Chains A and B, each alone.
Chain A
Amino acid sequence: MLSNDHNLLDPIIQITDLNFTYNGQPVLEAVNLAVGEGDFIAMIGPNGGGKTTLLKLMLGLLKPQRGRIRVMGKPAVRVSHHIGYVPQDVHINQRFPITALDVVLMGKLAPGKRWSKNSAQDRRDVLEALDRIDMADNAHRRIGELSGGQRQRVFIARALVTRPRLLLLDEPTASIDSRGQTAFYQLLKRLNKDVTIVVVSHDLLVISTYVKSVACVNRRLYYHQQAEITGDMLETMYPCTMEETCPVELVTHGHLPHRVLEHHKE
């Protein structure tokens, strides 16, 4: 877990003094973050706090007004095709006539590949990626016929066929029931052996067992490393306790495993 520290010499994502405004409203202010190779980081915070915006900045879909964002040592736009991206399910048309296989094949798109039919190699890679997430049986089903959890797995497979070093997920469990969520995070944990993962989430289940570090995003960003997290002594879980930064409250029945993060310094 502390391996995170030496990896920080050469972070996979490096954000320095980043500011982003949307329609004159500051969305992100003075954000600094270094994500080390192999990290599994959860970005949590209230809706409208800037989590998704930060993710899109990392993908190069948005440009920061001030500050710098480097992914794998280069500006985000230049390396975005090396990033695996799993978007929010709700934004995608479920009636679209497309099979799971064809969705994953989309991950094989690359600049300058026009005329070419999908090669046999591409299809093998895609089937292998689907197999890796236990979805090979559903390869030829229409995407709309799959459950929320299965669809999310397909999107992961699509991100994985790009052979990314970095996987970014935006609210991946929003349409999965709680049992499916557990299975889903176990899958991510397995994948984390090879790839660095950043997951945007507002469900706290994530933090409890699977992630290595937590970033609280509410206009500003507060980074908590695993090492800071104290044990399971407290009754209530307040991630990111600090007046208005990200007010989160959770009532538990006592035996729920939980963690408490340190106060934000500043």
Chain B
Amino acid sequence: MKSLIFRGRLFLTGLHTYRFTAAVLTRCERTNRSHGEQHDCCPQTSLTGGTLEFDPRALIYFSRSSRLLHTSATTPKMSEQSRNSWIKKDDPKLVSAKQKDFFVDMLDDRRHASDFHYSTRVRDVTTYKYNKPRSPKDIKDHVMQSDRVKYAVEKVMEESGLPLEEVMKQTQAILDEMAHNLRIGVIRCFAFFLVKVMKKLFQRIYINEEGVQKVRSLLKEYPILLMPSHRSYLDFLLMSYVFYEFDLPLPVIAAAMDFMGMRFFGWLLRNSGAFYIRRSFGDDMLYWAVFTEYIQTQICNGDSPVEFFVEGTRSRTSKSYAPKFGMLSAALEPYFKAQVPDIMIVPVSISYDKILEEKLYAYELLGVPKPKESASGLFKARNILKEDFGNVHIYLGEPVSIRQYSVTGNLDRSVHSLAPRYIVSLSDQEQHLIRHLSYDMVIQQQKHMVISPFAMIAAVLLQNREGIHLRNLVREVEWLKRQSSNLGAYIDWPVSETPETVLRASVSHHGNIVQITADDMVELIVEDPTITSNQDKLMTSGAQQLMLCLYKNQLMHIFVDVAMIAISINSCAQDTLHIEELKKHYKFLERLLNIDFIFLPGNTDKDFEQAMLVLTHTCGVVVENSHVQIRKSTNKYTTFFSQMFDPFLLGYWIMCRCLKSMQTGAHGKPLAKPPKVITKEAQNLSATLLRMGAFKHMEVLSLDMMNNGLQSLYHMGAVQKDKREGNTYMYPNEVVLSQIMDELSKFVDVPNIPATSINVETKTVVINAKL
């Protein structure tokens, strides 16, 4: 007979009967059948109170939890307890690392049990109520025979004149390239190794279990879309791991074609549920049809939860990327066409203490060509298994019902009644709703990101680039922590440790970027000691700083709204600033930052009001008679917040500057260039200015920032687009561009470039040539 303390979280199934005394539940066990699921109650026991029967369906089962608890817990004897016999460890400072707020560590049990048993255990999986079991092959067959594909095939035949067999062959090829081959056998093998890898890589993998429960209960009722944030390759491995762990059907995952190139890894992923989507397929009708049908049939039949990354690709900056809509549109279409009663979308936030690919990202942002993903590149590159990547937090957010989401939007789905559903496309209203939803989902992801102490260290350090004493760092980080927390961020901060210990641990964890010197100064490591080649020094130290930015960026979305106000306040030359004027600035900045940061479309006024409330209530901003009192309001808060965003404004200014200097072609119209060329040129300009010592923010070397700036300028009308031979070319609209530059220079100190090169276009050519 074994007993266990009934703590907050215990997962059981099978019919267990518990006999309990005052505080200790003892579980009687006569048989423990093969999978540890069914237990009968043992009649002989002395400690009997009443009998509690648990409804097994109401609770979740972990085969491992019962096993673990049986081996680890020991029965305390009542007589030996001096006081409060229900307390097991008499230490108020004791903090469970396994159980942290609403998170629980998934790895903990794996560290105490057999991986083999784990990977071969029986999984009792819930499925969608209207699901008809199908194999991956059945799904493919369905796609080939579907009305949508047949229709597209006919169209293609008409247009190209190709015979049916040829077009069908093409279709089959597209499908073969795309389709997953989810096989439980492969999954089990994969699980076996994956768990070993995860245990090596991470200390703990936390998951909010309530979120899992919600997904489980919805799985039976409605098709599910999973929408994780995308910061690392590991995202989808982790997601599949979670679903394996919790006995949920394994998701099928929309992956980019890059992975397919990897020989073993590509195969492995395909067999564990990845399907491959080309990054862009424009107006390839056949591809569209196969892709749409392939996604939709799996949603309609609820074969598996469908997982995809709304950001489209891994974020190299740890900021959320602006969402892409194609995949979501395709996935939600079955609801709008009433093929399913509803679809549930689950935003998932995956936060890493330390990102596996941090260095790769930094070089990618700088424009050092990214090595093609290969299995060896992924796993051998940095002796990764020897490194410690800290904790991962996975938060399954509140599922969003597309029905409820669109009911309030007053959407009329009957517009699709007038043609077969495989022909008609979504209405403008529906597309608008999907855009809105996409942004909303990214915001939900952000909201549940877990902020690591290092993010705050990075933010402080980037404003004290020469280094900061540990004592001051502690003070600053504590301040920043309070601000973040006030703005709703969840911060991963061990309460049982002193702040200094936390910071030291955190810094040493990121020893490749920051260090603590002997006299307790914390500083950025400017030179990467591992790099021996004679690379450009600016670029290597830029990479170091960009890595730091990567972590600082975890914080940015929290502050962006208040910062956009703080920027106007801090840069205001007058004594007072009218609220409306401030709002105008806010709107301008929002449009400008709209690609780099995520704003809910149409919500600007509310965001502004909300941010104003925060600033006036907790950050000392003073408003009298609808006028912000600038002198009283310029303080540590506004200064810190606005400085966080300085590099972005500076970067955009450089982009403007670069656009301004573009060569004029015939008829006075600037020569159009491909966006890539323009961003590269802007980066070169940044580099020159950095070398000149005009400023110190090396973040402006990021091509990503330059490109986002360019896209923003395009949306604001300062840049125009041409399609030439299928490629995009861009050229500035001088008037708008100048206006934006003027505005920008009000908000941020811009470097003083020698007059000759500013005004005269011919001179600028010289500068460009020099760069």
Do A and B pair up? The answer is: no
Query: B residues near A, CB below 8 A?
Result: none
